[in-house]
Structure 1
Amino acid sequence: MNTLTATCSLALDDADDDNGCLQVVPGSHLEAELRPHRPVFKPSTNGERDGGHTLAAQLEADDKVVSLPVKRGSISVHNERILHGSPGNGSDRWRRTYIVAFRPKAIVDYERGVGFTHSHNDKVQWQTLLEGGPMHTSRREFLKHATALAGVACTSSAWAGAANDRLNLAFVGCGGMGSGHLGWALQQPDLRVVALCDVDANHLKGAAAKAPDAFTSGDFREVVGRDDVDAVFIATPDHWHALVGIAAAKAGKHVYCEKPLTNSIGEGRALVNAVKDAGVVLQTGSHERSNPGAAVAKRLVAEGNLGEVKTVRIHLPNADPHLQEVENFTSPPPDRDPPAGLDYDFWLGHTPVMPYNEKRCHFFWRFHRAYGGGEITDRGAHVIDLAHMILGLDDTGPVRVNAVGTPPKGDFYDAFITFRFDNEYANGLRMIGDNSGPRGLTLEGTEGKLFVAVHGCALSAEPASLLEGVSLPGIDPYATHRRSLLDAIRSGSGEVSAPVGAGHHTAVACHLNNLSMLTEKPFAWDPVAEQSDSDEVNAMLTPKMRAPWVL
């Protein structure tokens, strides 16, 4: 019998723990047999639905019951085999839902044959049914196939906060990507912006105009330490990611941190340890992972459609006007006093004191190694991250690194724009990168090739038949990626699409190639010990920090 089912519920009212929102036991739909269910009350004799309509199933000691609060107009979809139910409406508010349930005809016929119609199951002869009477072949067969009876009375929630509470967010870094994150958060009814931070008063003023009730400060420590902050969005220049992230984790805050996770390997390891020690959740801002094309590519590889993938090519073209400006920059503007409102010494942070220059600060900081890693950690972090995700390399890195690069002209910018690298992984994979286009990655297997574009993760394949029947829905990957963190916080699962370890290993791969270019040498790398066979490389893993900043 085909037992595939789905229930779609349209919320006509807000539903939360107070008025009895849906609760589920995640993963229970994967159990080999449906757990026994019994009516909580005796079946009614007057045709009312209260009697046998309420069912209960035994919860196991390791079951986690999760509440699923919804706002009016939201739609939820669940497999009927999952243990689900409601603790009842203890409030004076409505909790109305319009339900459309999909069931194969065989399931519908079976349910009606035993008197079960989902909305009125009072006619079910429960004693006969549960004891394996003549209405079905066996109790085991009934419990296996009667998926429509998978309701359960649940009484606990995995999220300690009230289901209708909004999560309180703080934003550190309000220009560039930070402005985009903030704008999105302000449109979400389940979020509240409570704090803003930026060392540039102009950025801070612009953000405060959008969130006038939020606390504002130029010092991130005053923000991450607030009791009313649940999660911190970090969108600073790369050299600040580690220190802000570690402070947030130690303060018990969940974190969304832009990529690359950190600006050095040592800082990354310190942030990973801080997150794990604090038991908080960190989502790396590698939002390309949240494009449908990334998931399709991962599935095609996992199912063997490409055969054995022996090579992945990373394409990072450098023809963009801003990259060519950096590549050929020989006449920088003169140094000058920082603009009014910019706390430039705080902006420099742990890095050496340098005179202010407009081409050293906002946006162009990423091409100075003290603050960023150049194109390989800018968009290269997206492309290499996709390769790690698709090929199952989130927990490891290369074991052999060989990269060559050409420094930009002049002596102002020092991050590489033109380069080529060839990395070997323990499983025999070669990751080869250069400035060929278009931007993205090519997975080369024994049975075919797959190109994944960045940005957007559009797919093309050789042969084209590899993508036959594949359709990629249009979504907002930024929104989906942000939601991954928020859902992990609310559910208590801690599961995000770009966890701290994955973000760290992607950043490590980027930094290793920069180190090979800087030392002009190939070297071996131990991805577990995070040490090289080169003393020169090991000495460059963590930057020396200017007082008072320390990891």
Structure 2
Amino acid sequence: MTRVSRRRFLQTSLATAATVTIAGTKSSARVMGANDRIRIAVAGLNGRGESHVGAYLGMKNVEIAYLVDPDKRTYQKRLDQIARKERPAAPCIQDVRKALEDKDLNAVSIATPNHWHALMTIWACEAGKDVYVEKPCSHNIHEGRIAVEMARKHKRVVQHGTQNRSSQGWADLAALAKSGKLGKLLVSRGLCYKDGGTGGSTRGDIGTKPTKAPPADLDFNIWLGPAQEQPYHENLVHYRWHWFWAFGNGDAGNQGVHEMDKARWLIPGATWPKSVISFGGRYANNDQAETPNALVSVFDYGETQLIFETRGLKSPAFRGQTVGNILHFEEGVVAGAKFYPKGKDEGQPIPKVVSDVKLGGDHFTNFIDCVRSRDTAKLHADIEVGHVSAGLCHLGNISYRLGKASSYEPKLGKIAGNESGTDALERMAEHLKDSGIKFDGQNFFAGRKLDFDAKTETFSKDSEANALLTRKYRAPFTVPDKV
């Protein structure tokens, strides 16, 4: 195979929606042995980037070949991390496309902001590289589907960073739900109650930062990537980009995607819901951020409702859980590794059902094992699994974004599906009241009820909602319309 030059790669970027042909790796089509060295680029060096680097440093015959981040200020701490393990220093680069030119690079491990996840996955697949991509694997549903199709077309191993998919305990709980031992599963609930406090990586009031010139060490053009050009301010770099629609997906698509993934996994056979509706708002003293920090989303799966609750202010636990999952069965409730029979307050051991699926081990190790074997069936969290679970976060957000300021009424929860929706709304209102927040008809948003077509991954007869399934991309950082 011939190696494509950097100049040609840039000229034939996805901005034209044309197919980019890049030389595959030496091992792209063959099974690799335990002694074959896997060379990997880690992209995104803050936050989860530290975990990515640490995971690969602990593996035999895995080399960190590149450290990638548009912010040069992130390099030294990762270089120090590598040096402590007495490993060779990796080249530090700002643009992942330079690493993708390397025909001997095997994989890319992505821990960038959300808006880069899908595009970088797509580029890596086209370049013949395997991918570990952090949650959520997409910033919107369209690009998630394109990432899935690119992985299939180029026969790439793509693992999604929802690590609970490597847990035997969660697999066994899914088997219990499927077994019917506790009757029908009525509600699969995910909770993301995280108190952000004030300052730092807050989920509360982040204030307003003035626009200014980007730091000299930050290539802000690359950081923006697929997002439309806009001024730099210090509420973006680093972390608080999560609370802006152009880059993040709120806490539902941040911490919450883990609990969303489990909530869906625990509903037997669940993929996309029939419909979604969300309620909530942003309660943060009119700060600069855009995403809600209190949100209830209800997804209709027929006889089971998936209810997801996001809170970013100090909140009491619900059934002993703050960040976790609760299962409401006909015979009782499973919460916090205990079963509470209907009408009883004392917890009992959860009935034991062992899944036919045998999991366990480290999520990163599972990825590297599959890179070596080329057996994507053994991935614990294949890209399509990630696409649907991340997509649920997007669906809930779309309903909210199309909502209207409304007078708060608990009965709105019944519109969402059943009494459990009403209960979730009432508890959210009580939580906000305890935080000194009153609904005034302007700060409570009732989302639009949206019917979803699983086959086409579009909303039924709702052009406004369908417009939010994708975004306007900025050349040359463009996701194609189709594969």
Q: TM-score, normalization: structure 2? A: 0.74
Do residues 504 (structure 1) and 387 (structure 2) align?
Answer: yes
1:134 — aligned with what?
none
Do residues 314 (structure 1) and 190 (structure 2) align?
Answer: yes
1:327 — aligned with what?
204
Do residues 525 (structure 1) and 452 (structure 2) align?
Answer: yes
Q: What amino acid does structure 1 have at the position aligned with 2:278? A: A
Aligned residues: 380
- SS in structure 1 at match of 2:64: strand
- SS in structure 2 at match of 1:431: strand
2:463 — aligned with what?
535
Do residues 462 (structure 1) and 340 (structure 2) align?
Answer: yes
Q: What amino acid does structure 2 have at the position aligned with 1:301? A: A
8 Å contact kept, 1:326–1:413:
no
Gaps of 5+ in 2: 1-28, 312-316, 342-346, 404-447
Greater shift in the superposed pair: 381-390 or 400-409: 400-409
Separation of aligned partners in 2, 1:223 and 1:305: 51
Separation of aligned partners in 1, 2:196 and 2:167: 23
- SS in structure 2 at match of 1:247: helix
Separation of aligned partners in 2, 1:487 and 1:391: 28
Separation of aligned partners in 1, 2:259 and 2:33: 39
Question: Deviation per CA, 1:498-548, whole angstroms, max 9, x where unpaired?
Answer: 111110001111001100001011110012211102111001111101222
2:131 — aligned with what?
255
Separation of aligned partners in 1, 2:198 and 2:57: 31
Separation of aligned partners in 2, 1:357 and 1:470: 51
Separation of aligned partners in 1, 2:375 and 2:32: 15
Aligned counterparts, 1:282-361, within 5 A: 282-321=158-197, 325-329=202-206, 331-361=207-237
Closer, same or farther: CA 526–470 of 1 in aligned 2, 3 Å: closer
Question: Deviation per CA, 1:336-362, whole angstroms, max 9, x where unpaired?
Answer: 222231111210112122222221221
Q: What amino acid does structure 1 have at the position aligned with 2:190? A: I
Cα distance, 1:402 vs structure 2: 0.7
Aligned counterparts, 1:90-101, within 5 A: none
8 Å contact kept, 1:305–1:466:
no
8 Å contact kept, 1:194–1:228:
no
Aligned counterparts, 1:123-272, within 5 A: 160-209=31-80, 210=82, 212-272=88-148
1:70 — aligned with what?
none
| Equivalent in 415, 440, 445 of residue 329 of structure 2 | 445
Q: What amino acid does structure 2 have at the position aligned with 1:535? A: S
Closer, same or farther: CA 215–384 of 1 in aligned 2, 3 Å: same
- SS in structure 2 at match of 1:298: helix
Closer, same or farther: CA 393–405 of 1 in aligned 2, 3 Å: farther
Cα distance, 1:290 vs structure 2: 2.2
1:62 — aligned with what?
none
8 Å contact kept, 2:173–2:353:
no
Cα distance, 1:466 vs structure 2: 4.4
Question: Deviation per CA, 1:37-66, whole angstroms, max 9, x where unpaired?
Answer: xxxxxxxxxxxxxxxxxxxxxxxxxxxxxx
Question: Deviation per CA, 1:362-401, whole angstroms, max 9, x where unpaired?
Answer: 111111111111111112101010112232446x211111
Separation of aligned partners in 1, 2:277 and 2:252: 14
Gaps of 5+ in 1: 1-157, 453-458
8 Å contact kept, 2:188–2:267:
no
Do residues 401 (structure 1) and 401 (structure 2) align?
Answer: no
Separation of aligned partners in 2, 1:350 and 1:292: 37
Greater shift in the superposed pair: 345-354 or 259-268: 345-354
Percent of pairs with identical residues: 31
Q: What amino acid does structure 1 have at the position aligned with 2:384? A: G
- SS in structure 2 at match of 1:351: coil
| Equivalent in 266, 272, 286 of residue 390 of structure 1 | 266
Q: What amino acid does structure 2 have at the position aligned with 1:251? A: A
CA RMSD between the two structures: 2.4
